[in-house]
């Protein structure tokens, strides 16, 4: 039986990954300090004898016996990662060192949940993996962006220097059930506002575009990457290249939730990117992966989840 460690396993993506790994027949150790994750995300798994949860902060060393490590621990939304930026950098950098050290000792494979934020404010659209990015090293987003960049550096240095088998995935915007209701991300914002009948806030004229990947698709990509041949280190982009305007997204949310909420327009924040879109040719070619879930289907699942939360 495959013993798999998931750091950040009680978070949005981590908990869905634990579900998938348990379903695939693995023995799963979920490690989390519950900073942004919650026990309710994994409560349904606690009855399973092959699932174990441990409260632990990855900035401290961990001793465990596993075959694979998914390093997902890190708050992902600006409100959360900017609340304690020093801790965010520590989670990214010390967390990566601790997990890579563990992988080295165990000769285990390790996958890093990196991010499209390593591209910063890009001059290249869509972003391909060979683009080095344009990141401000001293801004308020740097704890996350530079933390994740340094983690990637550590992964590749452990690979070159210590022959650790690494897998680096650059995740683009992902949505689905168990997202935080108040973390300021557009999909959860729109849905919560629609369900509460509050005005839906659109910044600018709503013509800026984003692309969103449904969580099940992303998790499938992570599992494929982990089980890919040893030479496939990445970095590999994962996300949904289907772009839509924020106005289109808001209209879909209103239609699918049956809400009568109104759209209100506010000035565009200064650092709001006009466009962000992944180039997923590498994932398509090397992993045979591409998103399958249509936006309307993903939104229906997500709205059903938030209906329970809002109630």
Ligand X SMILES: NC(=O)c1ccc[n+]([C@@H]2O[C@H](COP(=O)([O-])OP(=O)(O)OC[C@H]3O[C@@H](n4cnc5c(N)ncnc54)[C@H](O)[C@@H]3O)[C@@H](O)[C@H]2O)c1
The residues annotated as belonging to the active site are 144
CB of 146 to ligand X, least distance (A): 13
Which residue, 230 or 272, is less far from ligand X as judged by CB?
272
Is residue 310 within 8 A of residue 179, CB to CB? The reply is no
Which residue, 37 or 206, is less far from ligand X as judged by CB?
37
Mapped onto helix, strand or coil, the DSSP state of residue 5 is strand
Site for ligand X, residues 224 to 263, rule: CB under 6 A: none
The correct pick among 6, 53, 74, 99 for binding ligand X (CB under 6 A) is: 74
> Is residue 298 a contact point for ligand X (CB under 6 A)?
no
- 128, with CB counted inside 10 A (0-12, 13-18, 19+), is middle
CB of 239 to ligand X, least distance (A): 8
The correct pick among 4, 13, 69, 118 for binding ligand X (CB under 6 A) is: 13
> Is residue 174 a contact point for ligand X (CB under 6 A)?
yes
Is residue 1 within 8 A of residue 28, CB to CB? The reply is no
Would you give the binding string for ligand X spanning residues 18-57, x where CB under 6 A is met?
--------------xxxxxx-------------------x
Question: HSE (CB half, 13 Å, CA atoms) of 124?
Answer: 14
Which residue, 235 or 259, is less far from ligand X as judged by CB?
235
CB of 16 to ligand X, least distance (A): 8
The correct pick among 4, 18, 58, 254 for binding ligand X (CB under 6 A) is: 58
> Is residue 12 a contact point for ligand X (CB under 6 A)?
yes
> Is residue 76 a contact point for ligand X (CB under 6 A)?
yes
Which residue, 158 or 214, is less far from ligand X as judged by CB?
214
CB atoms within 10 A of CB 259: 19
CB of 260 to ligand X, least distance (A): 29
The CA distance from 54 to 70, in Å, is: 15
> Is residue 171 a contact point for ligand X (CB under 6 A)?
yes
DSSP E strands in the chain: the ranges are: 3-7, 27-32, 51-55, 68-71, 109-115, 166-171, 174-175, 200-203, 209-211, 213-214, 236-238, 243-245, 263-266
Which residue, 174 or 302, is less far from ligand X as judged by CB?
174
CB of 112 to ligand X, least distance (A): 8
Report how far apart, in Å, the C-alpha atoms of 98 and of each of 151, 155, 253, 269 are: 11, 11, 41, 37
Which residue, 41 or 259, is less far from ligand X as judged by CB?
41
Helix, strand, coil in percent for the chain, rounding step 5:
40, 20, 40
CB atoms within 10 A of CB 125: 15
Is residue 277 within 8 A of residue 237, CB to CB? The reply is no
**Residue appearing with tokens 């579900």:** 19
Structure tokens at 50: 């092959």
Distance of CA 121 to the CA centre of its chain: 18
> Is residue 14 a contact point for ligand X (CB under 6 A)?
yes
Which residue, 75 or 235, is less far from ligand X as judged by CB?
75
Is residue 100 within 8 A of residue 161, CB to CB? The reply is no
Size of residue set near ligand X by CB under 6 A = 28
The stretch near ligand X (CB under 6 A) out of 6-14, 157-165, 241-249, 282-290 is 6-14
The correct pick among 26, 53, 73, 236 for binding ligand X (CB under 6 A) is: 73
In the complex, the residues that contact ligand X under the rule CB under 6 A are 7-8, 10-14, 32-37, 57-59, 72-76, 91, 95, 113, 115, 171, 173-174
């Amino acid at each position: 039986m495959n013993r798999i460690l998931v750091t950040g396993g009680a978070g949005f993506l981590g908990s869905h990954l634990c579900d998938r790994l348990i379903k695939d027949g693995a023995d799963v150790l979920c490690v989390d300090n519950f900073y942004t994750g919650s026990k309710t995300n994994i409560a349904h798994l606690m009855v399973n004898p092959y699932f174990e949860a441990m409260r632990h902060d990855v900035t401290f060393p961990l001793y465990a016996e596993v075959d694979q490590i998914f390093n997902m621990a890190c708050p992902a939304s600006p409100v959360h990662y900017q609340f304690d930026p020093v801790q965010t950098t520590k989670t990214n950098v010390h967390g990566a060192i601790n997990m890579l050290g563990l992988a080295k000792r165990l000769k285990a494979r390790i996958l890093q949940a990196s991010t499209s934020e390593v591209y910063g404010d890009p001059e290249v659209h869509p972003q391909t993996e060979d683009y080095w990015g344009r990141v401000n090293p001293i801004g308020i987003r740097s704890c996350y962006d530079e933390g994740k960049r340094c983690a990637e550096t550590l992964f590749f240095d452990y690979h070159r220097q210590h022959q650790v088998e690494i897998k680096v995935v650059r995740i683009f915007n992902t949505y689905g059930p168990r997202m935080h209701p108040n973390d300021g991300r557009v999909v959860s914002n729109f849905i919560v506002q629609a369900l509460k009948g509050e005005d839906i806030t659109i910044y600018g004229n709503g013509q800026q575009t984003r692309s969103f990947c449904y969580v099940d698709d992303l998790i499938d990509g992570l599992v494929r990457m982990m089980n890919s041949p040893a030479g496939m280190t990445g970095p590999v982009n994962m996300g949904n290249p289907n772009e839509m305007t924020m106005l289109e997204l808001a209209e879909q949310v209103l239609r699918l939730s049956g809400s009568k909420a109104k759209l209100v327009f506010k000035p565009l924040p200064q650092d709001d990117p006009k466009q962000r879109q992944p180039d997923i040719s590498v994932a398509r070619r090397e992993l045979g992966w591409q998103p399958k879930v249509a936006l309307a289907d993903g939104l229906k699942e997500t709205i059903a989840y938030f209906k329970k939360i809002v109630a």
